[in-house]
Amino acid sequence: MTRLSGITPSGHVHLGNHLGALRRWATGGGPEDLYFISDLHAMTLPYRPERLRALTRENLAVLLASGITADSVFVQSDLAGELGALNWVLECTCGFGEAARMIQFKEKGAGQDSARLGLLTYPVLMAADILLQGATEVPVGVDQNQHVELARTLARRFNGGRGEVFVVPRAVVPKTAASVRDLSDPARKMAKSAQQQAGVVFVLDEPDVVRRKFRRAVTDDRASVRYDPDEQPAVANLLEILAACTGGSPYAATSAASTYAQLKDTVAEAVVELLRPVREGARELLDDPAELDRVREKGAARAAERARPRLDAAMRVAGLR
Ligand code: TYM
């Protein structure tokens, strides 16, 4: 089994990323697993190069501090050559309509003439990330499910009876916290790109900032701590976060508090404790740029070496070389 997944450094890592993805990447894996910072994907919306460089470094430090081993991380653009080649092969395997139907493209770019072409082909590059490394499992939050589905479709289509050039991967989504909601608006998922960041808890936020964000979280006027995602989405989100931190179910988490104020305090403390080692570890790593550079270099060499045979096979099957 090879697990592979990535995170886009378009902003600071938040609690949704941590609970829905990073925390799971750090457990139960094997020596073949790969996790990366998808900096190429951060170019699909307007961005500043210096900020991208800094966020790539910061995201890498957070990954390592989350417990993901240095032997399984790399930065996507360090494989830009291999990925670029496979990306083209896969773009020529994917229909325009197929790409245009992806929810993220529809949300962020459809209908806008100025939307970058990369925003449309973003899921194809994701497929290249996954298929290049022969990943069997892709642990992601629910928002990436559709993209992994496209990777499956493209792998099957390309293989097309020619043997297993590409492994057909499957998405693995967690039972709780697969889609953590914004604390100030449960209709939105917690996202790096949120305009208002009051409802987004960042992994590197100081404890007092985390507490303040939870204290200001919206609830509802029912004054009843129940797990009912349809009727009480904001409270359900708090219970899901608590359950994800403490390991129980969101239903069981209702017994932790009888008022909303208590619930918010309890969730805030659980989150502060969960994130403490990550925040402290990441800060230490960020003070040691040479170590981060070493990890990055080794990761790039390992990932490129692993990618080469599969890229060669795909090029041959495609009638190239
Ligand atoms: P990204 O950076 O948006 O998110 C990284 C991971 O965090 C999960 N996630 C969430 N989980 C729960 N609640 C939330 N509110 C929440 N927000 C984000 C995401 O599902 C994801 O697992 N395109 C990808 C990165 C990528 C990738 C890949 C992933 C590039 N290539 C290949 C898998 C395989 C992205 O931008 O994730």
Helices 49-65, 289-317: axis angle to 10 degrees equals 100
Please state, as a whole number, how many other Cβ atoms lie within 10 Å of the Cβ of residue 253.
Answer: 26
CB contact at 8 A, 123 and 150: yes
Of the candidates 156, 165, 87, the one whose C-alpha atom is nearest the C-alpha of residue 122 is: 87
Cα-to-centroid distance, 222 and ligand 1 (Å): 33
Q: Which atom of ligand 1 is nearest to the CA of 127?
A: 32
Q: Does the C-beta of 6 come closer than 6 Å to ligand 1?
A: yes
Tell me if residue 186 falls in helix, strand or coil. Answer: strand
φ/ψ (deg, to 5) at 47: -155, 165
pLDDT by residue (tens digit) across 235-265? 999 999 999 999 999 999 999 999 999 999 9
Mutating to test ligand 1, I would choose from 44, 144, 238 the residue with most ligand atoms within 8 A of its C-beta, which is: 144
- Which is it for strands 34-37 and 73-75: parallel, antiparallel or unpaired? parallel
Q: Which atom of ligand 1 is nearest to the CA of 10?
A: 2
Q: Does the C-beta of 120 come closer than 6 Å to ligand 1?
A: no
Q: Does the C-beta of 79 come closer than 6 Å to ligand 1?
A: no
> Residue 29: its pLDDT value, please?
83
pLDDT by residue (tens digit) across 98-155? 999 999 899 888 788 889 999 999 999 999 999 999 999 999 999 999 999 999 999 9
Could you tell me the CA-to-CA distances from 193 to 11, 46, 82 in Å, in that order? Answer: 7, 12, 29
Q: Which residue has the tokens 């403390």?
A: 269
> Residue 194: its pLDDT value, please?
86
Rounded to the nearest 5 degrees, what angle is found at the Cα of 292, between the Cα atoms of 123 and 288? 140
Q: What global pTM score does this model have?
A: 0.96
User: What residues act catalytically?
Assistant: 108, 189, 192
Which residues in the chain show pLDDT less than 50?
none
H or E segment to which residue 172 belongs? strand 170-172
